[in-house]
Structure 1
């Protein structure tokens, strides 16, 4: 069993968290396969995906070498469900101390959503392991670069509006990582779409690797 620090280290090493938010539970397995086969090592299944707790359990069993977390964990109830399902990390869009307490008691890290300096500082004070700047794309690169000045010792992850077209820009400003949703973590229609999307994910991950090695 990985420690909280080992999980955190792997998230920061991977630099990318795939955000799986789908309309149907039956779409999850094929989506995850595309992501894993495409080289992603860190995935979250959001609480507003139908059957998300069951899908976290399934993914943990099917992909023992991949980190599988729970996303959109806005409160203590959702945190408890996610931990019981075997989530290896929790991701929130908001600042919530109870979520941190539950996660740390279970020995797993929290990626906590925040945007303003006050929210970021509060997230750090209550023990967030990574601060997720959300929605980063709407607020823009310049704002996020500005935030990195006073919070230079805080691991910041940009989430919201990240795509293959702009991921190099986001990683190049010094973000600890990025979260990406619909462009990569989408439902696939059939076998040919599955093959094509897996290659798209693979190309995206190559781009990330090239950028982070520069």
Structure 2
């Protein structure tokens, strides 16, 4: 899939959920991705603290050409460069970093930039972040996020950290542009039965996302 930065951004905002793949072993990544995609997820990030993340991004781009594959936990320009070289279609950070935005935009891909305070959010916006990732959202709560959406109503905000199957509907109906979800959905699968069960769990989560979008 060859998309412009704006095309990728539009797809992320349409899907409203990004799966965060953070695993302890490289050999767990491929099966995890397959499970998530079969469950209905279309936007996935592989984090830089997953062993072999650069190689796994490249492999995932080749194996799943119709799925958006990004790189997560991109804290600096060096990691951003490696991710872009591997073919990442978007970058996700836990922090604000102007160099990451510059590098991503030169490659014509969007950045989901981590920020929490109004000052950090404003800086991320000034530097050109395409989406501001409120992190860790679960620790500050939906009330804080609703408050932030007042003055920053012109920038897409994504909640990451503490989002679960139990509260995703509440998050999305609060007006947030999207959510990122990690360990609850993105985990290692040990065998075929485990894979089938977890795929069904992911499908259930994605049904909730779609229901939230329809109402």
Q: Tell whether the structures are fold-level matches, with TM greater than 0.5.
A: yes
CA–CA separation in structure 1 for the residues paired with 2:199 and 2:59? 20
1:172 aligns to what? 173
Match of 1:150 in 2: 151
For the aligned residue pairs, the C-alpha RMSD in angstroms reads 0.4
Q: Name the counterpart of 1:110.
A: 111
The Cα offsets for residues 14-46 of structure 1, whole Å up to 9 and x where unpaired, read as 000000000000000110001000000000000
Post-superposition CA distance 1:27-84 (Å, at most 9, x none): 0011000100000000000000000000000110111000000000000000000000
Distance 1:18 1:8 in 2: 15
Quick one: distance in 2 between partners of 1:210 and 1:138?
25
Task: Give the ranges of 4+ consecutive aligned residues of structure 1 lying more than 6 Å apart after TM superposition.
Answer: none
Superposed, 1:105-144 pairs within 5 Å as 105-144=106-145
Aligned to 1:27: 28
Equivalents in 1 of 2:31, 2:85: separation in Å? 24
Any gaps of 5 or more consecutive residues in structure 1? none
Q: How does 1:1-214 map to 2 (within 5 A)?
A: 1-214=2-215
SS of alignment partner, residue 186 of structure 2: coil
Question: Within 2, Cα distance between the matches of 1:172 and 1:3?
Answer: 29
CA distance in 2: counterparts of 1:72 and 1:211, whole angstroms: 27
Supply the distance in 2 between the matched residues of 1:147 and 1:9 (Cα, whole angstroms).
22
Measured in 2, the distance between the counterparts of 1:211 and 1:83 equals 33
Residue aligned with 2:41, SS:
coil
The whole-number CA distance in structure 1 between the counterparts of 2:123 and 2:100 is 13
Spell out, residue by residue over 1:74-129, the C-alpha distance to the aligned partner (whole angstroms, 9 max, x if none).
00000000000000000000000000000000000000000000000000000000
SS in 2 for 1:162: coil
Q: What secondary structure sits across from 1:140 in the alignment?
A: helix
Looking at structure 1, the residues matched to 40 and 192 of structure 2 have their Cα atoms a distance apart, in angstroms, of 18
In structure 2, list runs of 5 or more residues that go unmatched.
Answer: none
